[in-house]
Amino acid sequence: MVVSPNLPTLFFCCVAAAVPAVGWGQTVTITDLPLPAAETAPERLDGPPGSVRITDDARPTEVRPRVLRPIPDDPWELPAEEPQSDATENLLIYPRAAPLGFSGPSGILPTERQTSSHFVPTEDRWRQGVPGQDRYGKGHPPLDDYPGVKGAWWDPYNQNVLKGDYPIIGQHTFLKLTGTSLNLFEAIQLPTPTTPFEATRNPGASGFFGDPDQFLFLSFNSLAIDLFHGNAAFKPEDWRMHVELVYNMNYLVADELGVVGPDVRDGTSRYRQYVTPEQWFFETKLADTSPQYDFVSARIGSQPFVSDFRGLIFNDVNRGVRLFGTRHANRDQFNVVWFDQTEKDTNSMLNRFTEDRGQNTWIVNYYRQDFLFPGHDAMISFHANRDQESFEFDRNRFLVRPDPVGVFQPHEVRSYYIGAATNGHIERLNVSSAIYHAFGTDTLNPLAGRSQRIEAWLAALELSYDRDWVRFRTSYLYASGDRNPNDGVAQGFDAIMPDPNFAGAEFSYFGRQAIRLFGVELTNRLSLTPSMRSSKFQGQTNFVNPGLHLFNLGVDADLTPRTKLIQNTNFLWFDQTEPLETYLFTGQVRPFIGTDVSLGVEHRPLLNNNVLLLGGLATLISGDGFKDLYQRFDGETRNHVAGFLEVALEY
């Protein structure tokens, strides 16, 4: 071996010359070395000046790995490959501890073995062992906070390979399994139309509306499998595959005939089951567009999408193609979406996997964070909806397309929405706003009995202020109504698939319930605008409707870290009543609908969303307009009440 003449090298040469009996790989104590002997001195060569040869019986013990040793001046005299020792007992081996939580087996095959005590190969960077800790010597009681808690496959609260904390293949491929059970128990009092073939059972009741009591049970049980490739939360996924299978049970019991089905022989109760793959899609990243992880990705398949901050226009899960990404270090986001919608199951509201709806929706939106003020976000959007001619009875054998009013002949609705919205805060004032203009055509509106040109507006504003643990809110929503159903211009605003998070709609009576008015619904379930369409999920948009003015006062109070109280009072007016008067062939319908008072409670017993209890109680104190629609023969109109309990379990 030829070594360049430097001090460390000459030192080890002298040490090696003094200890001819020391073997390769053995430990040498420098203080025990004898003086160098002449017969072990390095032999001079006719090589480059200063080069020396170390004889085999005087090979030194080199503790540095080869990559850190000095490079000889003459590359042609590099040392030969060093023999590897099989005696691993001389190498430093770190104590091996289990990773945190449940990591599962490693997906990394070792490609390098340890050859030095200075370098210990650890190729799976995710499964780093952490020694167990018991800071207080208590034996890890369940309610104490301990770092480094070991887990099990069934433990969702600590790190777990089954919820995407550790890769299952290589360093970047993760699996996430999610099981959920959402159970709804709801007791409702609704104006319940009777059929033309039997009278109501209650003396003094309206000739057309009978006993209002109903009970609804819904149970959604799902298993979602999410396989993705990336660096978990550190950057967008390179690709992703997602499948969610949902099983639904639903049960409805009413006190009047003709509610669960048009045939009175069906009785007063109905039980249904339904299973479907609700979500299934593949996502891939098309390009990285900046060093700040800006990207462009595409997603194909049945997927969830909310088109604005509050779900005022479109909030649904359906099959489509979505192109999305970010710009300017994730300050801007954009979406371009096309939905080819499937038919909905009537009772579960889930998608029918193989049945086409004959409806296409295009959505383009662009978000800007920190717009004008830090923490204040803005967006602009465009929606286009083409609902083709179709004739459809739902699973309960009620006609839903076209709406069973007026001429009820198949017709096509082409509607377009342009709008802008904001959401966030300006200093301590929270602000959320939206404005939309709808335009387009309806080839034959059932109520008007002729084609319509659509010209409608929606505006919404919510202001709130946080004071310690209480948020005080006020909001206003305007949806334009049609002032003349016979003039060929439809001015009543209707959304494509709304699910508004506005003015406490989830808890309110008017926003949560489907208040029926003979063949159509005055308001659809989980929708604020009185659209007078047969169903939000299966009916067509109807722009000949009375519109709405809503003024809200509300309070959100975090009573404890586990319990939140939500209170809302909504004052409701029709914008225009002419569509109702035309539909009912009646006299004047006054504009004031009534006062909607609701109280909701959200409780998280485990301080997370694995167990969530949500309850609400609401009543509609009838105003003059509601009395004109649902008044009894004795001149009284009851104040209807609804209450619900929602139990959400997630694993």
pLDDT digits (tens, 9 = 90+) for 400-441: 999 998 888 999 999 999 999 999 999 999 999 999 999 999
Distances (CA, A) of 392 to 13, 67, 219, 591: 95, 76, 26, 33
φ, ψ for residue 163, nearest 5 deg? -120, 25
Structure tokens at 85: 């020792």
Q: How far apart are CA 540 and CA 403, in angstroms?
A: 7
What DSSP assignment string belongs to 250-272? Answer: EEEEESSTTSS-SSGGG-SEEEE
Parallel/antiparallel/unpaired status of strands 489-490 and 450-467: parallel
pLDDT tens track for 489-513: 999 999 999 999 999 999 999 999 9
pLDDT band at 59 (very low <50, low <70, confident <90, very high): very low
Task: Note the pLDDT of residue 153.
Answer: 87
User: How far, in whole angstroms, is CA 240 from its chain's centroid?
Assistant: 15
Please report the pLDDT score of residue 89 as a whole number. Answer: 57
Q: For the chain, what is the mean pLDDT? A: 85
How large is the average pLDDT for residues 283-294?
A: 93
Residues 361 and 335: beta-carbon distance below 8 Å:
no
| Predicted confidence (pLDDT) at residue 192 exceeds the cutoff of 50 | yes
Model confidence at 198: pLDDT above 70: no
- For 240, the 3-state DSSP assignment is strand
Query: ω before 402 within 30° of 0 (cis)?
Result: yes
Any idea which of 145-159, 375-389, 413-427, 559-573 has the lowest mean pLDDT?
145-159
pLDDT at 488: 93
Complete DSSP assignment for 321-389: EEEEEEETTTTEEEEEEEEEEEEEPTTT--EEEEEEEEEEEEEEEEEESS-SSTTEEEEEEEEEEEE--
Q: What is the mean pLDDT of residues 604-628?
A: 94
Q: Give the pLDDT score at 207.
A: 55
Residue 626 pLDDT > 80: yes
Residue 119: pLDDT band (50, 70, 90) is confident
DSSP 98: P
Query: Could you give the CA distance from residue 33 to residue 58 in angstroms, rounded to a whole number?
Result: 13
- What is the rounded CA–CA span in Å between residue 339 and residue 281? 13
Q: pLDDT per residue over 29-51, tens digit each?
A: 333 434 444 444 444 444 444 44
The enclosing H or E element of 305 equals strand 295-306
62 compared with 287, residue with greater pLDDT: 287
pLDDT at res. 18 = 41
Give the CA dihedral 243, 244, 245, 246, nearest 10 degrees: -160
Using an 8 Å Cβ cutoff, are 116 and 91 in contact? yes
The helix/strand/coil state of 578 is helix
Residue bearing the bigger pLDDT, 104 or 419:
419
What pLDDT is attached to residue 98?
79
Confidence of residue 195 (pLDDT cuts 50, 70, 90): low
Helices and strands, number each (H, E), in the chain = 4, 27
Average pLDDT for residues 143-167, to the nearest whole number? Answer: 82
Tokens 């919205």 sit on residue: 421
Amino acid at 628: D
Residue 66: the pLDDT is 56
Distance, CA of 416 to CA of 530 (rounded, Å): 19
Question: Which one is predicted more confidently, 350 or 113?
Answer: 350
How many Cβ atoms sit within 10 Å of the Cβ of residue 328?
12
Over residues 188-208, mean pLDDT? 63
Judge if pTM exceeds 0.95.
no
- Burial of 149 by CB count in 10 Å (0-12 exposed, 13-18 middle, 19+ buried)? middle
Residue ranges and CATH numbers for the domains of the chain are: 2-83 (no CATH), 97-170 (no CATH), 172-650 (2.40.160.100)
538-563 mean pLDDT: 96
Q: Which residues pair with 440 in a beta bridge?
A: 415, 454
Mean pLDDT across 217-241: 89
Give the separation between CA 541 and CA 14, rounded to whole angstroms.
94
- Single-letter amino acid code for the residue at 102: F
Determine the pLDDT at residue 631: 78
CB atoms within 10 A of CB 633: 10
Please answer whether residues 598 and 615 qualify as being in contact, where contact means their C-beta atoms are separated by less than 8 angstroms: no
Q: How confident is the model at residue 480 (pLDDT cuts 50, 70, 90)?
A: very high
Q: Which of 599, 601, 592 is nearest to 621 (CA)?
A: 592
φ/ψ (deg, to 5) at 342: -95, 165
Q: Does pLDDT of 86 surpass 60?
A: no
Contacts of 358 (CB under 8 A, 6+ apart): 387, 388, 389, 390
Mean pLDDT value of segment 77-94 = 57
pLDDT bin (cut points 50, 70, 90) of residue 1 is very low
Q: How many CB atoms lie within 10 A of CB 83?
A: 8
pLDDT of 56 higher than 50: no
Hey, is 613 helix, strand or coil? Answer: strand
Q: Is the Cβ–Cβ distance between 285 and 250 less than 8 Å?
A: no
Q: What are the structure tokens assigned to 433, written together? A: 């706003």
Most confident range (mean pLDDT) of 1-10, 30-39, 631-640 is: 631-640
| Both structure tokens of 286 | 């098309």
Residues pairing with 447 in the sheet: none
- At 345-369, the pLDDT tens digits run 999 999 999 899 999 999 999 999 9
Question: What's the pLDDT band for 327 if we cut at 50, 70, 90?
Answer: very high
Q: Residue 11: helix, strand or coil by DSSP?
A: helix
